[in-house]
Amino acid sequence: MITYFCPACWRIVKREARRCAACGADLFHLDQGAFAVKLVEALRHPEPTIRQRAAFILGELGDGTAAAALGLILLGRQSRS
């Protein structure tokens, strides 16, 4: 089971939601690629639980593009892509 999060405020949203109930972000026009990019960016978030959540969601989505970013982070290289 995949949990969906608003890419603007990181609150849980229903898969079929068109707008985030918490912040009002337009979820209908966000594409999956943009969501994955935000998740990769969240891997550098200062809050450890956000980083863990982003890594978990990327794994659940099966997004292979995140592998390089995760590898750099594991090696201690915080370079931005």
pLDDT tens-digit profile of 31-51? 556 778 888 888 888 788 988
Q: Has this prediction a pTM greater than 0.85?
A: no
Handedness of CA 81, 44, 16, 1 (dihedral sign): positive
Give me the residue spans of the domains in the chain: 1-30, 31-81
Residue 72 to residues 49, 61, 81, Cα–Cα distance (Å): 19, 20, 10
Q: How much is the pLDDT for 6?
A: 84
> Residue 32 has which token pair?
């999956």
